[in-house]
Amino acid sequence: MARAAVLGRLTWRPAELVSVRAETSAARTLVFDVPEWPGHVAGQHVDLRLTAEDGYTAQRSYSLASAAGGRVELTVQRVDGGEVSGYLADVMAPGDRCEVRGPVGGYFTWDPEDPSPVLLVAGGSGLVPLMSMVRTRAEAGSRVPFRLIYSVRTPADVLFADELRRRVREDKGLDIEYAFTRAAPGGARRPPGRIDAALLGAAGWPAEFAPTCYVCGPTGFVEAVADLLVGAGHAAERVRTERFG
């Protein structure tokens, strides 16, 4: 049984794009129909494979954005000059097909049964698997305290902006702090800048609360934030990281 489940995750499955939602000028959410998709837990990703008419293939990893158990929804942000992200963010149309393999990942995951407070730290599109955790928490009716610190270039680059505004009002126990790196909105409390120890101290949890910390984004971002958290006294094994490359 376990072997069958592992083999299932390693198998490429046909996927058909059924709808798309624009998130920002550079990102959109793609909803796929994947027959016999086994479901996922929050934080997992899929491998996605595209095959051109001449047989050329390209494969990349994308996090599952939807709540655990839901359908395959990926939110892809265009990387300038990128081979696959440009196609997914701009070109692929409903009815088009690709293949997915997964769900992949067992470490960078959140279980709604875990009572520990949670600190989520996202850089850019690194928000996507953390959004799955936020959505899973809401669907499970969990009141586990969640704090999200989201580093993003400008207000126009915020993914899921309307949903985040709504959730912070409606999802009790969820706090969100934005760290704009290039341009902050008028009236912002902080000038544009990177996440630093002072911000993590003010908007995160004290190490004594023993939160589980999830850090996701570009490699340099993840390493800098993980170092800051460990430097602030968080146990290294409670700081879980996912690098987007």
Ligand X SMILES: Cc1cc2nc3c(=O)[nH]c(=O)nc-3n(C[C@H](O)[C@H](O)[C@H](O)COP(=O)(O)OP(=O)(O)OC[C@H]3O[C@@H](n4cnc5c(N)ncnc54)[C@H](O)[C@@H]3O)c2cc1C
Burial of 202 (0-12, 13-18, 19+ CB in 10 A): exposed
**Given the rule CB under 6 A, which of 35-43, 164-172, 195-203, 237-245 is the region that contacts ligand X?**
237-245
Among all residues, whose Cβ is closest to ligand X? Answer: 82
With CB under 6 A as the rule, give the number of residues binding ligand X.
21
- Residue 41 near ligand X by CB under 6 A: no
- Residue 186 near ligand X by CB under 6 A: no
Q: Which is nearer to ligand X, 214 or 244 (CB)?
A: 244
Q: Show the site string, 199-228: x = touches ligand X by CB under 6 A, - = not.
A: -------------------x----------
Closest by Cα among 145, 134, 160 to 42: 134
| Amino acid identity, position 114 | D
Are 93 and 159 a contacting pair, CB within 8 Å? no
Min separation Cβ 27 and ligand X, Å: 7
Min separation Cβ 86 and ligand X, Å: 6
200's enclosing H/E stretch is helix 197-203
70 to each of 126, 142, 183, 218, how far by Cα in Å? Answer: 19, 17, 35, 26
Instruction: Show contacts with ligand X in window 126-185 (CB under 6 A).
Output: 128
- Residue 234 near ligand X by CB under 6 A: no
Tokens of 11: 């198998």
Min separation Cβ 131 and ligand X, Å: 9
* Beta strands per DSSP E along 90-145: 97-104, 118-123
Closest by Cα among 10, 101, 96 to 53: 96
Are 177 and 149 a contacting pair, CB within 8 Å? yes
Q: Which is nearer to ligand X, 128 or 239 (CB)?
A: 128
Instruction: Show contacts with ligand X in window 45-104 (CB under 6 A).
Output: 45, 60-63, 75-77, 79, 81-86
Min separation Cβ 189 and ligand X, Å: 27
List contacts with ligand X (CB under 6 A).
45, 60-63, 75-77, 79, 81-86, 125, 128, 218, 242, 244-245
